[in-house]
Structures are given as C-alpha cells and as structure tokens.
Amino acid sequence: MLSLLDATVPYIELFKGIRLSTRPDYINDEVLLLLKKYNVTTIELGAQSMNDEVLKANKRGHNALDVVKASKLIKSYGFNLGLQMMTGLYKSDYNSDLYTANEFIKLKPDCVRIYPTVVMKNTELETLYNKGLYVPMTLSESVELCSEIITMFYKNSIDVIRVGLHYSDSLKENDVAKNYHPAFKELCESKIFLNKILSEVKNYDSKDFTVYVNKKSLSKAIGQNKSNIKELNNLGYNVVFKTDNNLSKYDILINR
C-alpha cells in the first residue's frame, strides 16, 4: 500500500485527490490517518451485501456490522464514502438485495456501484451452478431489480457511478450463465422510464401520448433499438417522445 501511495507523491498536485477501493474489515484509525496524509479523498468499500447469511455463504470474510463501522469511521475522517454492492449473489434474492440497498441508504454514502453477479468459469460459483445449488438471476430479472435499486438511490440523492462490469473479451467468453450485458446500465435506465410511463398511462382512457424527458435521457427513454416504443406499441399505446430540459434525469411529463 505504501509503495503505491508513494508513487503518487510527485504527481499529486496535478489531481484533485485519490480514490481507492478496499474491504470493510481493513479500515481502522491507523489506516485512515495514513491515507489522509497521502491526499486520498474517496474510499469505496466492497460491501457486496448487508445480509450476513449471504456474506458468509459467499466467503466474503466480513459481516454487515463491519460495513457499518467502517462507513461511519470513514465519514468521521472527512473522506467521501463509496459503497459497492453485488446483486444476485449465492443465497441472496430480490428482497435481500433491496434490503442491502436500503441499508446502504441509511449509511448515506456519496456514491455507489452496483455489480450484478456474473458466474465465471473455474470458480466455486460455477460448481454450485452446475450442481443446481445456485440459480443466478436472468438478465431480465437483474434489469428489473437493478432499475428499482437505481431509483431508490436516485431518490435519496446518492450518485450511482457504475452499474455492471466493464466489458472485456475474457468476461464475455467466461460468462457461464450468459446473463452479462455490456450496456447493462442503459438497460436498467430504459426500464426505469418504461415502468414510469406504464404507471402513468394506465390511469387514462386515451392510448395516444406525448412523453417529455430531458434531452440527455431521450435515448434511454426510447430504449435500445427503440425497445420501449415497441413494448408500448405492443400494449396498444401510441407514444411520441419529445424533450424538455426543465425535467431532471429520470423525470417524465405526459400529455394526452
């Protein structure tokens, strides 16, 4: 750790600060005092879950209380706090992942990352999968769950800085369950808009609507390959999308 931090010293004036990621059970006063001296500004914790049964089953080596203690200590030293969660882990389910999101919100992190579990070749998780002891979420199930979690964080002013793993050929080739998608966040954000639209239009007799969204959100509202338009058309709705930059990121305005 010291050798890596020492390497930043000649260049630190060129940057606003250092962001790092570590385990919840590696945080203590001594470490935080040291990181402060090296101009570390943001510490992210690989919490993954706030369910102790899930953490134990996945051999994480820490528990939920470690996350709580580390988060509070990090904030007390003035660092920005980031929390990382994994959805669809072994022994977890939809509700336990929503519970983790709610527990994250209570800790008031500055940012979060959401990583759906990907089953890789030559891992213990693959062995459980092949034996039928672990059934990973399908892509559509994962999109539904993570779209709800993103909305929860957004409503609580918590910045979601990453959803889904960065693409790599190795990742794509070794994905056993085939539920990885390189544009996962965009799928989730499109789902947020689709769910919002469906929630509102069901209250009207008319089937023709104009949906206004922020210009930056237009492609997400329309969906990949116009998937949201196609879905709405299949349900009998005729929808036209237009922009209104007075609307915030995930807001919509519907005119009949």
DSSP per position, 95-161: HHHHHHHHHHHHH--SEEEEEE---BTTSHHHHHHHTTS--PPPHHHHHHHHHHHHHHHHHTT-EEE
Q: Locate tokens 């051999």: which residue?
A: 59
Q: Report the 10 Å Cβ neighbour count for 229.
A: 19
| φ, ψ (nearest 5 deg) of residue 222 | -70, -35
Q: Are strands 253-255 and 208-213 parallel, antiparallel or unpaired?
A: antiparallel
Could you give the C-alpha distances from 237 to 99, 197, 203, 204, 229, in angstroms and in order? 34, 11, 13, 11, 9
Tell me the per-residue pLDDT of 55-94, one tens digit each, with 9 for 90 and over.
999 999 999 999 999 999 999 999 999 999 999 999 999 9
Run of H or E including 19? strand 18-22
- 148 token code pair: 């709800």
What is the C-alpha radius of gyration for the chain, rounded to an integer number of angstroms?
21
Q: Report the 10 Å Cβ neighbour count for 37.
A: 8
Are the C-beta atoms of 252 and 209 separated by less than 8 Å?
A: no
The candidate with the shortest Cα–Cα distance to 138, out of 184, 196, 189, is: 184
The whole model's pTM is what? 0.93
- pLDDT, position 202: 86
pLDDT tens digits, the chain, 256 residues: what are they? 999 999 999 998 898 889 999 999 999 999 999 999 999 999 999 999 999 999 999 999 999 999 999 999 999 999 999 999 999 999 999 999 999 999 999 999 999 999 999 999 999 999 999 999 999 999 999 999 999 999 999 999 999 999 999 999 999 899 999 999 999 999 999 999 999 999 999 888 889 999 999 999 999 999 999 999 999 999 999 999 999 999 999 999 998 7
